[in-house]
Amino acid sequence: MSRYILSLDQGTTSSRAILFDAEQNIVGLAQKEFTQYYPRQGWVEHDPMEIYASQYAVMSEVITQNDVDVRDIAAIGVTNQRETTILWERDTGRPIYNAIVWQCRRTADMIGELLDRGLGETIRGKTGLIPDAYFSGTKIKWILDHVPGTRERAERGEILFGTVDSWLIWRLTDKTVHVTDYTNASRTMLYNIHTLDWDDALLEALDIPRAMLPRVCGSSEVYGYTVLQGTKIPIAGIAGDQQAALFGQGCFEAGDAKNTYGTGCFLLMNTGETACESKNGLLTTIAIGLGGKVQYALEGSVFVGGAVIQWLRDEMRFFNESCDAEYYAQKVKDTGGVYLVPAFTGLGAPYWDMYARGCIMGITRGTKREHLIRAAQESIAYQSLELVEAMERDTGRRISELCVDGGASRDRFLMQFQADILNKQVRRPMIRETTALGAAYLAGLAVGVWSGTEELKSLWRCDVTFEPDMEEPRRAALLAGWRKALDRSRGWADRL
């Protein structure tokens, strides 16, 4: 049996490749950052060719640096930044416009028009999503509207749409396979998560030709092959990054929940084969497509999580390395009454305020850099708490513990504050690369490396459990201050 699974983890700021063995040990990892483009205020773009080039480079690097025989790679799994939208020419494979990133707010007015037409409840009922510029549908329409001749070419089947998984697989299979999986399709605002098909009424509402859309598949099957060093290797797993992390955390049963601390924060709870409609600003989405069935999830999204630390590093220049935030946050006993609301691109769940903007409240003459850094750290935990509370209200089920992963989960100060402000256990796994691990699980299941989810569950190991240790009066006071500051940030851009 082949010894390795190769995960391609294409994220918002970098592309990574991770090699796992059959015991889920990490054999090797390579990572490469790529360029972020901000052509106008609130706009975010990537170069699709740079995405592919960086992903291919790290894939080659991890194989070469670890002296791996490609014949020992059983399969490739792909996980990706979701909602990011790419349109390209079928014949040449050339993108017709930059990728419009999930963070981009350029289509906020387009969402407003859909709501004015009374389509809000229709979209919510069919897709499980709250209409927002976050999702792919209006991004596709924007490109079709702004690149001359594109819609006509798309109607003729000459232009293809894909989220990043589709784009990578199209390139890796030498322009022969145009697919996506249920999880990514469910993030487009075009896919009916109940009938499991692209929705003609929504396509018509946005004037998007069906001919440009990928075929939707399960999350664990062989989609096609890529050739590395003369060897054909099956591409056998696909999941959007947050669903992959849910799967990688072993959240296979209804009620299991995880929070990923990346560029944003994403809390998902598996709701089994029942699509639970949220009354508290959460999304209903597809958790995974496995064995001919789909499981659903409730999801809450924080747009700016770890990105607030990057902002302190790159724009404010408060420190040189992101990991330094933990050190500085602990140099003061509290924030000195300062709250930072990082609504740089609006607020996600449970508020869905496209016009909210970042603010810093409570500054006094005694406020220091350390106070601001600590306030930024704490803002990540406060936003995650809002998601947990909304999820518990929707399901009537108390989340007793939270599984965590992602880059910022390495920060012990943040994880302890998260446990304190939640008043719940926070559990961090031994392998924190759970997004890549989830993609590896899906690919490995498809080619027989693992027998099923029971075997995968037996491999999961906890690294550390953070126990809550904050008195209730202090917790309540901190939360009251946060909500007061949050209220100041809402609707700001709309009022200008």
Q: Does the annotation place 182 within a ligand binding site? A: no
Q: For residue 371, report the phi and psi dihedrals to the nearest 5 degrees.
A: -65, -45
Domain boundaries, the chain: 4-217, 242-495
Q: Which long-range contacts (CB under 8 A, 24 or more apart) does 315-324 make?
A: 316/372, 318/369, 318/372, 318/373, 319/373, 322/407, 323/410, 323/411
Cβ pair 318, 328 in contact under 8 A: yes
Phi then psi for residue 170, to 5 deg, are -55, -45
- How far is residue 480's CA from residue 164's CA, in Å, rounded to a whole number? 40
State yes or no: 14 annotated in a binding site: yes
Please choose, from the candidates 191, 187, 206, 181, the residue with its C-alpha nearest in 3D space to the C-alpha of residue 136.
187
Residue with tokens 């850099």: 369
Please report the DSSP string for 205-241 in residue order: HHT--GGGSPEEE-SEEEEEEEEETTEEEEEEEEEEH
**439: which residues sit within 8 A by CB, 6+ positions away?**
7, 8, 9, 77, 78, 79, 237, 238, 239, 244, 248
Q: Is 12 assigned a ligand-binding role in the annotation? A: yes
Q: What is the Cα–Cα distance from 90 to 393, expressed in whole angstroms?
A: 46
CA 196, 110, 139, 495 torsion: positive or negative? negative
Tell me which DSSP letter residue 315 carries. Answer: T
Residue 432: φ, ψ to 5°: -90, -5
For 252-410, strand residue ranges (E) read 257-261, 265-272, 283-290, 293-302, 339-341, 359-361, 401-405
Whether the domain at 4-217 and the domain at 242-495 fall into the same CATH topology:
yes
Q: Is domain 4-217 classified as CATH 3.30.420.40?
A: yes
Q: Please count the CA atoms within 13 angstroms of the CA of 36 that sit on its side-chain side.
A: 18
| pTM (2 d.p.) | 0.85
Amino acid at 396: G
24 labeled binding residue: no
C-alpha pair distances (Å), 419 with each of 256, 259, 377, 455:
17, 12, 13, 29
Which 8-state DSSP code applies to residue 410?
G
Predicted local distance difference test score (pLDDT) of residue 496: 46
Picking from 407, 408, 386, 388, the residue whose alpha carbon sits closest to that of residue 398 is 388
Instruction: In whole angstroms, give the CA distance from residue 186 to residue 128.
Output: 8
407 assigned ligand-binding residue: yes
Sort 195 into a burial class: Cβ within 10 Å, 0-12 / 13-18 / 19+.
exposed
Structure tokens given for 367: 């406020």
pLDDT for 495: 54
How would DSSP label each residue in 169-214? Answer: HHHHTTS---EEEHHHHTTSS-EETTTTEE-HHHHHHHT--GGGSP
Q: Which CATH architecture has domain 242-495?
A: 2-Layer Sandwich (3.30)
Residue 273 gets the label, from left (phi > 0), alpha (psi -120 to 50) or beta, of alpha
| Strand (E) or helix (H) holding 478 | helix 472-489
C-alpha dist (Å) from residue 105 to 226, 301, 334, 355, 398: 35, 15, 34, 9, 34
DSSP single-letter state for residue 72: G
242 is in an annotated binding site: yes
Splitting the chain (496 residues) into consecutive groups of 10 residues, what average pLDDT does each group show? 88 94 91 93 94 96 92 96 96 96 91 94 94 94 95 95 97 96 97 96 96 96 95 96 93 89 88 90 93 92 90 93 92 96 89 90 97 97 95 87 89 96 94 92 95 89 93 97 96 72
Cα torsion angle, 269, 275, 279, 282, sign: positive
Q: Tell me the C-alpha distance between 316 and 462, whole Å.
A: 35
| Cβ contact 66:27 at 8 Å | yes
If one counts every other C-beta atom within 10 angstroms of the C-beta of residue 204, the result is 10
Measuring CA to CA, which residue among 134, 144, 206 is closest to residue 354?
Answer: 134
Helix axis angle for 412-422 and 369-395, nearest 10°, is: 50
DSSP SS3 for 128: coil
Rg (CA), the chain: 22
Q: Is 81 a known ligand-binding residue?
A: no
What's the full length of the chain, in residues? 496
Report which DSSP code applies to 329: H
User: Is 16 a known ligand-binding residue?
Assistant: yes
Asked, as a colleague might, if the bond just before 350 is cis with ω within 30 of 0, I would say yes
- Establish whether 106 is an annotated binding residue: no
Cα separation, 429 vs 455, whole angstroms: 17
Measured from the Cβ of residue 152, the count of other Cβ atoms closer than 10 Å reads 12
